[in-house]
Each structure stands twice: as C-alpha cells, then as structure tokens.
Amino acid sequence: DTEVTQTPKHLVMGMTNKKSLKCEQHMGHRAMYWYKQKAKKPPELMFVYSYEKLSINESVPSRFSPECPNSSLLNLHLHALQPEDSALYLCASSLVGGTNTGELFFGEGSRLTVL
C-alpha cells in the first residue's frame, strides 16, 4: 500500500463547530505532516510528527490541534475556525533516516470551507 488516505474529502463547517480531519498511511513511515494550501499557492507546513511525537509546530493558531494516536494515523482537530482558514489541508508522510529520507507522500487532501 503506497497511499496516504485522507477523510473527509470535503468539509463545510461553521465558525462554532468542532470537526476533525483524518489521515492514514500503512507504508511504515514514522514522520507525518499537515500542510495547508490556499488556491494557487504553495503548500505551507503546519505540523510535523516524528515517531508519534510533535517535532515541528510552525506557530499555528491553537484552533488547530494535531494528534498522532499511533504510527499510522494523524488527526487534525478543528475548533472555532475563521473563514480565512478555508483551504486544502494536505497530509503527508515520509521515512525517517536512510538514503530516501525527505520524499513526502501526500494524500489527496481535505478541502475545508468555513462559513
């Protein structure tokens, strides 16, 4: 299995809602990532988990809360979002260490609309 699977594909939520984005991979990758991508812009790193521990937080507002329950799963909990948070949220995974370290395998993304 060489896929990163994200659910849901589309999500519409109000500013007072609580929702979660989910990501799963079974490639044995021990690094997992959340990126945010606005239309016609590059992906922007939000969080990195390495061996299930948060290793990088790019000063993301606390209304975004990541969670890595195990080596295959990554969640992004959303609460009290703003309309400007509407974007494509991409999950990715990669190996840690070794000669192929660095290549990111992206999921198809969850397109979030905040009303």
Shortest distance, CB of residue 73 to other proteins, whole angstroms?
A: 18
Question: 80 vs 104, which CB is nearer to other proteins?
Answer: 104
Minimum CB separation from other proteins for residue 56, in Å?
Answer: 6
Query: In whole angstroms, how close is the CB of 54 to other proteins at the nearest point?
Result: 11
Judged by CB, which is closer to other proteins: 50, or 75?
50
Binding site for other proteins (CB under 8 A): 31, 33, 40-45, 48, 50, 55-56, 90, 94, 96, 101-104, 106-109
Q: Using the structure block, give the residue that is written with the tokens 């896929």.
A: 3
User: What gap in Å lies between CA 79 and CA 99, rounded to an integer?
Assistant: 39
Q: Give the contacts of 41 (CB within 8 A, at least 6 positions apart).
A: none
- Cβ of residue 100: shortest distance to other proteins, in angstroms? 10
Distance CA 89, CA 76 (A): 9
- Residue whose CB is less far from other proteins, 30 or 79: 30
Give the C-alpha distances (Å, rounded to integers) separating 35 from 3, 16, 98, 99, 107. 17, 23, 23, 23, 10
